[in-house]
Amino acid sequence: MSASPKILAAKILRKGRCLVEYRRLGRTGVWVSEIAFGCAHLGSKPADESEAIKLVHRALDLGINFIDTANIYVGGRSEEILGKALKGVRHQVFLATKVRGRMGEGRNDEGLSRYHIFRQVEASLRRLQTEYIDLYQVHWWDPNTPLDETLRALDDLVRQGKVLYVGCSNFSAWQLCKSLWLSDKNGWARFETNQVRYSLLDRSIELELLPLCESEGVGILAYSPMGGGFLAKDPIPNSPPVVWARAHRDRKSETVTQREKRIWQTVKQIAQKYGRPLSHIALAWVLRLPVVSSAIIGASNIQQLEENAAASGFKLADEDIALLNEQSEV
């Protein structure tokens, strides 16, 4: 079977284990696992450092080559643990981290100024114990810093070899469009990815952002592809996950809405049809689009990691996609 222009049906056998599918990272020549290991909570429990390192190593054994973190995750602890975990295997990993959030008490200890970016990239390199970062992402928009200052600083990091590619996160369509235009105008390294929240519960990017990314070859990195875990739990939770409720502060209900119940029930129905976990249905729906370079999953234990990674390569039938689309309409 030949690979599509965007999806490489490349299978990597590691220690007799998992076969994974890879996709191009946006328009670049880099191939990343369509399931990425997200490290937002890696190291949140100080006593569990050895367990966290085992999680990282298991992700590599499963064929996952894309690991995502940020300088603010667990106050830098996530990057520190990754640095330890990747000793001797750094070359096997496409490593992504982010900059923007507050990392100190000083007035300039946050944002996307050249000053803050240059200081934080050095701090991330130290914590990660690496000479370069594969994908350096701005975590969210900074209204207090001129965009050209941010983009020029990122371009300089690429030219210095400290960063290979740059991306953004949580950018709206107009923010990404303006960024791409400025980079093209000035010959600077441009954003190759946009990491955004995308799931059956939140399809807001489909209106403007997703078509823009398809047009310009910007890879979507989907975080919370299971709605903060809501679409992976059985039976249905009595309330939305805390992270989900926090991301939707405008929601009027603290209980599960009728739409959320309808989506969960449909996912459950389709999961029973295939004999798969609910998580596989939610992930396969997100990954149905070639513009999605990777779906970022977190895991608190090896069993959860293995279950989510096993969704790689699973495809939904057209009629199931149509049903999910219908039931998840706002």
Distance CA(80)–CA(66), nearest Å, equals 17
Query: What's the confidence (pLDDT) of residue 154?
Result: 98
Active-site residue flag, 223: no
Distance CA(132)–CA(97), nearest Å, equals 11
Under the banding of pLDDT at 50, 70 and 90, the label for residue 20 is confident
Query: What's the confidence (pLDDT) of residue 239?
Result: 81
The mean pLDDT of 196-207, rounded to a whole number, is: 97
The mean pLDDT of 191-219, rounded to a whole number, is: 98
CATH homologous superfamily of 7-227+286-314 equals NADP-dependent oxidoreductase domain (3.20.20.100)
pLDDT per residue as tens digits for the range 27-77: 999 999 999 999 999 988 866 899 999 999 999 999 999 999 999 999 999
Under the banding of pLDDT at 50, 70 and 90, the label for residue 327 is very high
Distance CA(280)–CA(295), nearest Å, equals 12
CA–CA–CA angle 165, 166, 170 (5° rounding):
145
Share of the chain above pLDDT 90, in %: 86
Catalytic residue among 73, 165, 198, 223: 73
Total residue count of the chain as it appears in this document: 330
Query: What's the confidence (pLDDT) of residue 45?
Result: 80
Query: What's the confidence (pLDDT) of residue 47?
Result: 61
Query: What's the confidence (pLDDT) of residue 11?
Result: 40
| CB-based contact 161:132 (threshold 8 Å) | yes
Query: Does residue 5 surpass a pLDDT of 60?
Result: no
Query: Does residue 16 surpass a pLDDT of 60?
Result: no
Mean pLDDT, the chain, integer = 92
Share of the chain above pLDDT 70, in %: 90
Under the banding of pLDDT at 50, 70 and 90, the label for residue 9 is very low
Q: How far is CA 221 from CA 92, 106, 283, 321, 330, in A?
A: 20, 31, 12, 20, 22
pLDDT per residue as tens digits for the range 287-317: 999 999 999 999 999 999 999 999 999 999 9
Distance CA(8)–CA(65), nearest Å, equals 14
Q: How far is CA 268 from CA 103, 187, 233, 275, 310, in A?
A: 41, 48, 10, 10, 17
For residues 140-164, b (16+ Cβ closer than 10 Å) or e, as one string? ebbeebebeebbbbbbbbbeeebbb
pLDDT per residue as tens digits for the range 261-295: 999 999 999 999 999 999 999 999 999 999 999 99
Pairing relationship of beta strands 191-197 and 219-223 according to DSSP bridges:
parallel
| CB-based contact 68:37 (threshold 8 Å) | yes
The mean pLDDT of 16-26, rounded to a whole number, is: 81
Q: pTM here?
A: 0.93
Query: What's the confidence (pLDDT) of residue 282?
Result: 98
Nearest-CA neighbor of 229 among 242, 219, 217? 242
The mean pLDDT of 152-167, rounded to a whole number, is: 98
Query: What's the confidence (pLDDT) of residue 2?
Result: 37
pLDDT per residue as tens digits for the range 237-266: 888 766 555 555 556 567 899 999 999 999
Locate tokens 């990272």: which residue? Answer: 25
